[in-house]
Amino acid sequence: MRLTPLEGRIYLAIPGLEDHLRAELPPPEGVSVRAAAGLLPSDSAQPPALSAGDLVNQRFVVSSNPPAEVFWCQDAWLEPFRLEFGSINEAARALRDIQRNWAPVLFTQFRRGALIQEKLPPLQSKPRPFPWLLPDSPLGAWTLLDAHTLVGSARCESPFPGGVIRFEEDRRGPPSRAYLKLQEALVRCRKWPAPGDRCLDAGASPGGWTWVLARLGAQVTAVDRAPPDRRILALEAVRYLRHDAFTLPCEDLGPQDWVFSDVVCYPPRLLEWIEKWLASGLCENFVCTVKFQGCADDAVIRRFAALPAGRLVHLYHNKHELTWIRAGG
Ligand SMILES: C[S@@+](CC[C@H](N)C(=O)[O-])C[C@H]1O[C@@H](n2cnc3c(N)ncnc32)[C@H](O)[C@@H]1O
């Protein structure tokens, strides 16, 4: 058995947004994980014929010289290593010796991978109820390149197995499925509004986010140019303001425990609005969706990422958008 640290990081691309990830990484990028792990010559003039496994494998992008922050990925493996092993028992033991929790992200060798995973502590695979407090213990990830070669990382960017989180869905209560991304953002914050907290929900209609907040017991001011669903309007904890969210002065709304935005708008408009809220000192906690049309503007992404005490992430439930999260003290 031989364990070798690999240089750089391994990124798991977002299905359909692979080009965004590749554009973020400096050349040489896009080396296949097999090549990076020394299994194929990365400079081979004749690229190896693609098998089904290799096609899936295109989702793993290896960068030996990664920038400090990469946003368009479903997960990043921060400390990758290669493990050459003889038997299934040996592979499982090597992973267990590193730490307790591991998630498989397989694209080949599915049967062998399942047998290794069976020998590791089980992962909760059922959809989660909300709210659910994420454990602090680290979760690693691994994949198999062939029957005797595993690539893994004990530290990953996403706290969810392979970057995937599924919630128990409520098909009757919320008027839109957008509630799932707010739930995910709040689980990642490891905190959420407490009963009685004042929440501003900008771009609230039809009301999925407001529904989540009201269910937590918060007092919600829902602002939108279009009215929310009738069932949301009927909730006692919800006050609706028909207004352009960006022209409502923060001082008029007063102190808020949380400010949310899912407004469809150009990112600079949202940035300017967040900066006003930050400057006002009226709120510490934010969850704001940054929506992009066509290609994402790298300069504006950097400006969101530089906002104080926040982080910009791609949630599993985000589409062509990122989420700026700040969960203050
Ligand atoms: C993606 S939807 C929000 C979905 C909502 N979060 C939910 O969970 O159901 C975007 C909303 O932004 C609203 N919107 C767009 N521009 C706005 C503005 N300047 N001020 C307020 N609302 C705006 C739209 O009317 C639309 O309802």
Q: Is the predicted pLDDT of residue 46 greater than 50, yes or no? A: no
Same-domain pairing of 48 and 183: no
Same-domain pairing of 250 and 111: no
Residues 286 and 310 sit within 8 Å (Cβ to Cβ): yes
Same-domain pairing of 124 and 7: yes
Q: Is the predicted pLDDT of residue 329 greater than 80, yes or no? A: no
pTM for the whole structure: 0.92
Q: Which of 163, 192, 219 is the last residue of a domain?
A: 163
Q: Active site includes 181?
A: no
Query: Would you say the CB of residue 263 lies under 6 angstroms from ligand 1?
Result: yes
Nearest-atom number in ligand 1 for the CA of 207 is: 9
> Which residue range forms the structural domain that includes residue 237?
179-327
Whole-number Å distance, alpha carbon 204 to ligand 1 midpoint, is: 5
Whole-number Å distance, alpha carbon 273 to ligand 1 midpoint, is: 15
Mean pLDDT, range 289-308, rounded to an integer: 93
Residue 281 confidence (pLDDT): 97
Say which residue, 66 or 285, is predicted with more confidence. Answer: 285
Residues 180 and 317 sit within 8 Å (Cβ to Cβ): yes
Mean pLDDT, range 283-288, rounded to an integer: 98
Query: Would you say the CB of residue 226 lies under 6 angstroms from ligand 1?
Result: yes
Closest CA to 145 of 238, 39, 221, 249: 39
Considering only 12-21, 194-203, 299-308, which range has the smallest mean pLDDT?
12-21
Residue 38 confidence (pLDDT): 55
Query: Would you say the CB of residue 224 lies under 6 angstroms from ligand 1?
Result: yes
Same-domain pairing of 267 and 308: yes
The catalytic position among 119, 181, 276, 291 is: 291
Ligand 1 pocket mutation pick from 170, 225, 240 by most atoms within 8 angstroms of CB: 225
Whether 58 is covered by a domain: the verdict is yes
Whole-number Å distance, alpha carbon 20 to ligand 1 midpoint, is: 25
The total of structural domains in the chain comes to: 2
Same-domain pairing of 216 and 153: no
Same-domain pairing of 226 and 157: no
Query: Would you say the CB of residue 14 lies under 6 angstroms from ligand 1?
Result: no
Q: What is the largest CA-CA distance in the chain?
A: 67
Nearest-atom number in ligand 1 for the CA of 178 is: 8
Q: Is the predicted pLDDT of residue 81 greater than 70, yes or no? A: yes
Residue 62 confidence (pLDDT): 83
Residue 31 confidence (pLDDT): 52
Query: Would you say the CB of residue 223 lies under 6 angstroms from ligand 1?
Result: yes
Q: Is the predicted pLDDT of residue 39 greater than 80, yes or no? A: no
Q: Which of 104, 131, 163 is the last residue of a domain?
A: 163
Whether 77 is covered by a domain: the verdict is yes
Q: Is the predicted pLDDT of residue 214 greater than 80, yes or no? A: yes
Mean pLDDT of all residues belonging to the chain: 90
Nearest-atom number in ligand 1 for the CA of 263 is: 12
Residue 105 confidence (pLDDT): 95
Residues 205 and 222 sit within 8 Å (Cβ to Cβ): yes
Query: Would you say the CB of residue 140 lies under 6 angstroms from ligand 1?
Result: no
Whether 279 is covered by a domain: the verdict is yes
Q: Is the predicted pLDDT of residue 56 greater than 50, yes or no? A: no
What DSSP string describes 82-138?
EEE-SSHHHHHHHHHHH-SEEEE--SS-HHHHHHHHHTSPPPP-SPBPSS-PPPSS-
Nearest-atom number in ligand 1 for the CA of 211 is: 8
How far apart, in whole angstroms, are the C-alpha atoms of residue 141 and residue 79? 10
Residue 33 confidence (pLDDT): 58
Q: What are phi and psi of 243, to 5 degrees?
A: -165, 160
Structure tokens that stand for 75 in this block: 């997960």
Whole-number Å distance, alpha carbon 179 to ligand 1 midpoint, is: 13
Whether 174 is covered by a domain: the verdict is no
Say which residue, 35 or 94, is predicted with more confidence. Answer: 94
Give the confidence band of 18 by pLDDT, cuts at 50, 70, 90. Answer: confident
Share of the chain above pLDDT 70, in %: 90
Same-domain pairing of 21 and 139: yes
Same-domain pairing of 57 and 189: no
Whole-number Å distance, alpha carbon 224 to ligand 1 midpoint, is: 6
Same-domain pairing of 85 and 188: no
Say which residue, 40 or 95, is predicted with more confidence. Answer: 95
Same-domain pairing of 216 and 75: no
Q: Is the predicted pLDDT of residue 242 greater than 80, yes or no? A: yes
Query: Would you say the CB of residue 208 lies under 6 angstroms from ligand 1?
Result: yes
Tens of pLDDT along 311-327? Answer: 999 999 999 999 999 99
Tens of pLDDT along 99-147? Answer: 999 999 998 899 999 999 999 999 988 999 999 999 999 999 999 999 9
Tens of pLDDT along 151-208? Answer: 999 999 999 999 999 999 999 999 999 999 999 999 999 999 999 999 999 999 999 9
Give the confidence band of 51 by pLDDT, cuts at 50, 70, 90. Answer: very low
Q: Is the predicted pLDDT of residue 240 greater than 50, yes or no? A: yes
Whole-number Å distance, alpha carbon 71 to ligand 1 midpoint, is: 24
